[in-house]
Amino acid sequence: MGKSERSLPDGWTTAPAEALLVANAAPVAEYDPSSTPGYSGDKNAGTAALAKRGEYLADLQEMLFANGRAGDNRSVLLVIQGMDTAGKGGIVRHVGGLVDPQGLAIKGFGKPTPEELSHDFLWRIHRALPSAGKIGIFDRSHYEDVLPVRVHHLVPESVWSKRYDLINQFERELVDAGTTVVKVALVVSPDEQKQRLTDRLADPTKFWKYNPGDVDERGFWDEYLQAYQAIFDLTNTDYAPWHIIGADRKWFSRLAVCELLIDALERLDLDWPDADFDLERERARVAAL
Amino acid sequence: MGKSERSLPDGWTTAPAEALLVANAAPVAEYDPSSTPGYSGDKNAGTAALAKRGEYLADLQEMLFANGRAGDNRSVLLVIQGMDTAGKGGIVRHVGGLVDPQGLAIKGFGKPTPEELSHDFLWRIHRALPSAGKIGIFDRSHYEDVLPVRVHHLVPESVWSKRYDLINQFERELVDAGTTVVKVALVVSPDEQKQRLTDRLADPTKFWKYNPGDVDERGFWDEYLQAYQAIFDLTNTDYAPWHIIGADRKWFSRLAVCELLIDALERLDLDWPDADFDLERERARVAAL
């Protein structure tokens, strides 16, 4: 079904994949992390919508998986970036958790290991790409190599500055090979981040989520905004566009990512694969059991 | 909390991890695949119980994950075996789907690749083991190497017959290294299998799940029962006991596996990890943001 023929999901006044494009948004330093562009519903409506749309997402995911089994080499890759406490893990859990976990290829990219550092920055990325029929979810990604790496001068500018083009080339190859790349940047406000850090320190069941380094990183807020603006300016391609999603309202960021995945899967124009066997013959064999 | 102190889950008259032990069951050839040993509820009650207990399972899984982050090396490995159409994939989807997918390491073992065949049969198994804090789910496993491999004489008896001891040694090492091994064999009746194959051939959304080879395998039913009985007789250890679960009622097999995972996680006697930082100092730092 073509994009133009599709109706808007309930509560949306603009198609999510349009409304959330970074190309249609303010510069990140001016972006309102509590905004819900394109969506007119409130928290209750958005929470209910996530559950309902999640069932549809699960159906589409199963169809993608079925086609992968039948020889279709296509896949989807969701790239999630965002500052600490923006809710990246919550997206993986609450959006990824809507579909069959067998169809997911989830990878979190932390501080590189010595082995990873001994290779090109895309080495560990390649190894984690989704296979045919799968939805890959990257919690952080190759963009780390132009975000904290740039902010903290972990490599010389002569090195990181070349990575934007390398990333564009890499994503071009990915898309050409059949992977739909969905890139989302979660933007949290300083106030909300402070609240989330405070909450983690107030609840013994959340201590394990608290990382003192998050407070250190907070001191580089403006540098991170500049680094994010750079990826939006330099890696926002037509084949792999960036979406920006306000993260202050978790219910919205989850619904938004769910809708972006639905959009990506709908654009694959999937159908259930044909039988790759002689249907009548097999029906007769089974009837004779 | 010790096992003896725990109360029975609602609807169970015997603890699931006891009621489903292969040691307490009839030989597999006489096992009733529609039975629900230890459970007194019906389909409605069982379906509701799965949803409710799934939330508890998700909490326990998160605690295991948190401890893994904090340096606890323990993990859980669910090994699922069962004849075609027994619902192995459904278990992964509907029980695995109850928890945060970030905490799962799911691996399906199909026909070995040339690379896998060029190694020892446990090579591909080792590579897929769950890391600290994760729940591994094997859809088929190292037991394939004494099930179809034995039934179809893919290697000489002198080779497969030694594998039972090798498997016991392997699982002993796993357990000693901190992995709780939960082994379940799903048993489906010939009538129910025929019905499920018929259903797949009647529904174009299920064609992709139909494999003509399943009908061929059906011709080896008795040989498979013998091969299953052999793994029960030879690899049912105190450190990694087998459970047998009737698969004719999908709602029951899913609830049963959920309860076995809960039991395994409860026996780890988990608590939320302590803060690995100076709590008061961090609270002051965050308050000053």
Given an 8 Å threshold on Cβ–Cβ distance, is B194 in contact with A277?
A: no
Show which residues on chain B lie within 8 Å of chain A, measured between beta carbons.
66-67, 69-70, 89, 92-93, 96-97, 99-102, 104, 106, 108, 139, 190, 193-194, 197-198, 201, 204-205, 207-210, 212, 215, 218, 272-275, 277, 279, 282-283, 285-287, 289
Question: Quick one: closest CA in A to B201, which residue?
Answer: A283
Alpha-carbon distance A123 to nearest alpha carbon in chain B (angstroms): 19
Q: How many CB pairs under 8 A join A and B?
A: 113
CA distance B179 to chain A (A): 21
How close is the nearest chain B Cα to the Cα of A165, in Å?
Answer: 31
Longest Cα separation, chain B: 72
| Alpha-helical runs (H) found in chain A | 16-19, 43-69, 88-94, 114-117, 123-127, 148-151, 157-176, 190-202, 212-218, 221-234, 250-266, 279-287
Mean pLDDT, residues B147-168? 98
pLDDT tens digits, one per residue of B61-89: 999 999 999 999 999 999 999 999 999 99
DSSP letters for B16-78: HHHHTBGGGS--GGG--TT--TTB---HHHHHHHHHHHHHHHHHHHHHHHHHHHTT---EEEE
Residue keyed to tokens 């943001």: B289
CA A269/CA A180 separation, integer angstroms: 12
Average pLDDT over residues B195-206: 98
Specify whether the CB–CB gap between B183 and B22 falls below 8 A. no
Eight-state DSSP code of residue B275: P
Closest CA relative to residue B233, chosen from B154, B146, B120: B146
CA–CA dist B220, B198 (Å, integer) = 19
The 10s digit of each residue's pLDDT in A35-66 is 999 999 999 999 999 999 999 999 999 999 99
pLDDT at A5 over 80: no
Check CB contact under 8 Å for A273 and B89: no
Q: Average pLDDT, whole number, for chain A? A: 96
Interface residues of chain A, partner chain B, Cβ below 8 Å: 66-67, 69-70, 89, 92-93, 96-97, 100-102, 104, 106, 108, 139, 190, 193-194, 197-198, 201, 204-205, 207-210, 212, 215, 218, 272-275, 277, 279, 282-283, 285-287, 289
Distance CA B245, CA A258 (A): 35
The token pair at B200 is 């797949």
Quick one: fold of B3-270?
Answer: Rossmann fold (3.40.50)
| SS3 state of residue A70 | coil
pLDDT in tens, A120-162: 999 999 999 999 999 999 999 999 999 999 999 999 999 999 9
pLDDT at residue A7 in the model: 86
Q: Is A277 a residue whose pLDDT tops 50?
A: yes
Instruction: State how far residue A188 is from chain B, nearest Cα, in angstroms.
Output: 15
To the nearest 10°, the Cα dihedral for B166, B33, B101, A202?
-100
ipTM for this prediction: 0.94
Which of A207, A209, A217, A279 to probe the B interface (max B CBs under 10 A)? A207
Task: Report domain A3-273's class.
Answer: alpha beta
What pLDDT is attached to residue A3? 46
Instruction: Locate the domains of chain A by residue range.
Output: 3-273
* Tens of pLDDT, residues B9-45: 999 999 999 999 999 999 999 999 999 999 999 999 9
Residue A2 clears pLDDT 90, i.e. is over it: no
How many angstroms separate the CA atoms of B54 and B226, rounded?
Answer: 34
Q: Is A255 exposed, middle or buried (0-12, 13-18, 19+ CB in 10 A)?
A: buried
Contacts A194 to B, Cβ<8 Å: 286, 289
Cβ-Cβ contacts under 8 Å, A289 against chain B: 190, 193-194, 197, 215, 218
- Residue recorded with tokens 């919690």: A139
Closest Cα in chain B to A96: B101
Spell out which residues of chain B touch residue A106, defining contact as CB-CB under 8 Å: 101-102
Q: Roughly what angle, to the nearest 10 degrees, separates helices A221-234 and A157-176?
A: 50
Please state, in angstroms and rounded to a whole number, the distance separating the CA atoms of residues B219 and B223. 9
β-pair partners for B12: B39
Instruction: Give the alpha-carbon dihedral of A199, A205, A209, A213, to 10 degrees.
Output: 60
